[in-house]
Amino acid sequence: MEVALRKEDNTMVVSVKGRMDAVSAADFEKILEDQLAAGETRFILDFNDLEYISSAGLQCILAAAKQLEPKQGQMALAALKGMVREVFEISGFSSIFPIYESVDAALADR
């Protein structure tokens, strides 16, 4: 799994490529925790190049979202495709997080 960070319009865009499974989810969680500790409160998770996500990956996203709550932070998901989109829909995450077709669409709605 590869993760790239970029700041756009007061929002941290976190682009994930590859597979987020039990092994790599811990790395992803650490990246999000570091950004939260640095004061970031607005996130777009760009899953355009994410091929697979396990329940461990979902748990990391949920944990970060819970840390954002007391800070009135926001987290949105963008560019979910195929099986990854299905996992988010089946797990109910699509009713918890706003989901956008692209990062640009998510940024435009911020």
What's the CATH number where 90 sits? 3.30.750.24
pLDDT cut 70: percent of the chain above it: 100
Model-level pTM?
A: 0.94
Total domains, the chain: 1
Task: Report the C-alpha gap between 56 and 48 in whole angstroms.
Answer: 19
Q: Collapsing DSSP states into helix, strand and coil, what is residue 10?
A: coil
First to last CA, the chain: 27
Neighbours of 100 (CB within 10 A): 19
Name residues whose C-beta falls within 8 Å of residue 34's C-beta, 6 or more positions apart in sequence: none
Write the burial class of residue 75 (CB in 10 Å: 0-12 exposed, 13-18 middle, 19+ buried): buried
pLDDT of residue 32: 94
Q: What is the pLDDT of residues 7-44, one digit of tens each?
A: 998 999 999 999 999 999 999 999 999 999 999 999 99
Residue 97 is part of which domain span? 2-108
Q: What is the mean pLDDT of the chain?
A: 94
Checking if the pLDDT of 94 tops 90, the result is no
At 49, the pLDDT band (50, 70, 90 cuts) reads very high
